[in-house]
Structure 1
Amino acid sequence: MAEKEEDDIHVIEAVGRSKIVIQGGKVTEVSVSRLRRCPLAKKFALPVDEITPDAVKANIEHRMASWGMCRPHRKISGSVDFVGFGASELLSSGILTGSLDAVVLACDGAGTVIVTTPEMVQGIGGRMSGLVSTSPLAEEMDRIEQGGGIVLDRAHAEIDPVRGVSLAYGKGFSRVAVTVASADAATAIHDQHPDAFIFGVHMSGITGADAEQLVAVADIVTACASKWIWRIAGARALLQAGTAVPVFALTKRGKQLILDKIARSDRPVLVSGSKLPVYGTELPEPLL
């Protein structure tokens, strides 16, 4: 357990793979982002209009103050959609409609977790960025387990989606979804559990080879600021949701998950047949 303040270290990547280190409840490091602008970042609760280390730090500190990111009292339940077609929004909708019965995802303070309620999927994933590593926070893990979730590794808060999916199936779940940021992890999951629903996230900066590998096994991928996901996934997609920072459905069940989310919403939607991808007027700058 992270008993000493100096041992409480969390590393995340946000806003174009800017590396952020949080130690002892304080932001101690923020690297320069490879992005200059991002339309999604402009919609954050604390918007990041111009991407600078100071602006990114302020945004992370706002997340820590407002919902306890990387702190023991972190909020783990929520119902508000932060974006129309984000990973947590779509996956929580899948649990609501019954197409999914468990979601494997990464959570700061807990590592890989298995979640079975839409509120916890959204609470954990709704405002989370790319989690690289984290320290175990016992109070938070207790609340996850009390809410019906399963923590893969309480001792070290390890992030291992491959083991997480195997544990979910071992626990008797049969409609399992997982978020992955690695092509190798996606392939390993698909090889071991071909029925698992794979959702690729945190794609900015991915290589062309890794994009090809991921697209071959994923059901949905987020474009983020990846030129390769735009090109490869966009050209093969059955459905594109959004035009600035879209998600691409690569399988029929991925497409159905998005359509089910649309069906549950009162939000107006334009449906139009088109050759994909469709680029919006405002994109992340530059695409990486």
Structure 2
Amino acid sequence: MSDNEEDLHIIEAVGRSKIIIRNGNVAEVSVSRLRNCPLAKKFARPVNDITPDEVKANIEHRMDSWGMCTPHRKISGTVDFVGFGASELISSGILSGSLDAAVLACDGAGTVIVTKPEMVQGIGGRMSGLVSTSPHHDEMDRIEQAGGIILDRAKATIDPILGVAKAYKKGFTRVAVTVASADAAVTIRTQFPDAFIFGVHMSGITEEDANKIVGVADIVTACASKWIWQIAGAKALLQAGTAVPVFAITKQGRQLILDKIALSDRPVLVSGSKLPVYGPELPDPLL
């Protein structure tokens, strides 16, 4: 970016608290709609009391520890931050060969296409809902040097539809994409029937949009969405987790989760049950 352009990143985290990062500093944090989140309590910098100050401290920790929304952002990683998160499952799918490319949103780069498991995890492992971002060209260079593809170097545009189209144009055939918009998910399923759609950042989604995304996605994260819990939970073939779970809607989604389990050394409980299964601690309130 040029010297006179503002470095601006907008993300949503911990129950759609809106965070504005301007020129390397957390400038604004809105009040979250959540009072409690079991996932947030497990962050590297835990958010036990969901206040703007605590959310800000968490975001600043992400910026300090791995460069989120800064030019020196880390783009590779191997540590699983949650058992069945989107980046963990997609990187596992690439490792097993069931997927050959992932279309993700990355701060500083916008929509990217990556083919290495460690880049999927490095980019997505600690990323929250990215609304918009400014281009960091040094970061984009590192992504491209590591084999990644940038959708829009000039503006760091976030557009999963165009990202999936570019992935197929580049010759990939087993493409996974993370999508936060129900309408975008429907468009991707219509235009690219074979794409693997992973619905993310679902807190606060409407009932109408929940029905749309559950109708086309392979896996959706429950987040703090009462509608995803109800609609996806009732339709799911598999639920992974009970506090902030993911729901596999299709056989392909179920297989991706089972492949992740097969690659892991962690003990797992498997039990037949009517879904959804609610754990003892949930996000409060479900939005």
Deviation at 1:51, TM superposition (A): 0.2
Deviation at 1:2, TM superposition (A): 5.0
Q: Equivalents in 1 of 2:283, 2:150: separation in Å?
A: 34
- Aligned residue number for residue 46 of structure 1: 45
Q: Equivalents in 2 of 1:3, 1:141: separation in Å?
A: 17
Q: Equivalents in 1 of 2:74, 2:197: separation in Å?
A: 25
Q: How many residues align?
A: 287
Q: How does 1:117-156 map to 2 (within 5 A)?
A: 117-156=116-155
CA contact (8 A) 1:2 1:137 kept: no
- Aligned residue number for residue 3 of structure 2: 3
Report the residue type matching 1:188 in the other structure: T
**CA separation of 1:110/1:273 partners in 2, compared to 1, >3 Å: closer, same or farther?**
same
Deviation at 1:3, TM superposition (A): 3.2
Q: Deviations over 1:119-163 (max 9, x none)?
A: 000000000000000000000000000000000000000000000
Q: How does 1:119-268 map to 2 (within 5 A)?
A: 119-268=118-267
Q: Secondary structure at the match of 2:283?
A: coil
Q: Secondary structure at the match of 2:253?
A: helix
Q: What's the TM-score once normalised by structure 2's chain length? A: 0.99
Q: Equivalents in 2 of 1:17, 1:240: separation in Å?
A: 23
Report the residue type matching 1:243 in the other structure: T
Structure 1 segments (4+ residues) deviating >4 Å: none
Q: How does 1:72-91 map to 2 (within 5 A)?
A: 72-91=71-90
Q: Equivalents in 2 of 1:17, 1:3: separation in Å?
A: 31
Q: Equivalents in 1 of 2:3, 2:233: separation in Å?
A: 46
Q: Percent identity?
A: 81
Deviation at 1:111, TM superposition (A): 0.2
Q: Deviations over 1:89-114 (max 9, x none)?
A: 00000000000000000000000000
Q: What's the TM-score once normalised by structure 1's chain length? A: 0.99
Deviation at 1:182, TM superposition (A): 0.3
Report the residue type matching 1:122 in the other structure: Q
Report the residue type matching 1:106 in the other structure: A
Q: Equivalents in 1 of 2:30, 2:269: separation in Å?
A: 39
- Aligned residue number for residue 28 of structure 1: 27
Q: Secondary structure at the match of 1:240?
A: strand
CA contact (8 A) 1:202 1:222 kept: yes
Q: Equivalents in 2 of 1:3, 1:195: separation in Å?
A: 42
Deviation at 1:255, TM superposition (A): 0.1
Deviation at 1:22, TM superposition (A): 0.3
Q: Equivalents in 2 of 1:68, 1:272: separation in Å?
A: 40
Q: Equivalents in 1 of 2:54, 2:198: separation in Å?
A: 29
1:92 aligns to 2:91 (yes or no): yes
Q: Equivalents in 2 of 1:38, 1:112: separation in Å?
A: 28
Q: Equivalents in 1 of 2:21, 2:223: separation in Å?
A: 23
Q: Secondary structure at the match of 2:255?
A: helix
- Aligned residue number for residue 61 of structure 2: 62
Q: Equivalents in 1 of 2:254, 2:2: separation in Å?
A: 41
Q: Equivalents in 2 of 1:36, 1:150: separation in Å?
A: 39
Q: Deviations over 1:16-65 (max 9, x none)?
A: 00000000000000000000110000000000001000000000000000
